């Protein structure tokens, strides 16, 4: 069941919200793949290496920041 609040459709159940998030993610992946195809000028090669596991990247960043190795960017 849904209700409207200020003109916005609000999901009543967490499952509805999860489904909406999945659809947004799938649309974003499709948009990203289309942009990448435009960038390379055609279909993507099938022999590309697999990507990094996002958990590994996040854990590495957290470890790096915890050890005080974080570089700060200055606009000066």
What is the per-residue pLDDT across 14-70, written as a single tens digit (0 to 9) for each? 788 888 999 999 999 999 989 999 999 999 888 877 776 667 777 777 776 666 655
The answer as to whether 42 is a domain residue is yes
**Which stretches within the chain are classed as H helix?**
14-40, 54-66
pTM for this entry: 0.48
Q: Which residues contact 36 (CB under 8 A, 6 or more apart)?
A: 44
Three-state secondary structure call for residue 49: coil
Residue 63 has what pLDDT?
72
Three-state secondary structure call for residue 44: coil
The answer as to whether 31 is a domain residue is yes
Structure-derived torsion over alpha carbons of residues 53, 32, 29, 2, reported in degrees to the nearest 10 = 130
Range of the domain at 13: 2-49
The answer as to whether 74 is a domain residue is no
Tokens of 42: 């055609």
């Amino acid at each position: 069941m849904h209700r409207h609040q200020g003109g916005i459709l609000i999901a009543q159940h967490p499952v509805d919200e999860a489904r909406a998030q999945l659809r947004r993610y799938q649309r974003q992946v499709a948009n990203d793949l289309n942009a990448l195809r435009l960038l390379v000028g055609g279909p993507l090669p099938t022999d590309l290496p697999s990507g990094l596991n996002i958990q590994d990247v996040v854990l590495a960043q957290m470890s790096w920041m915890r050890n005080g190795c974080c570089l700060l960017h200055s606009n000066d």
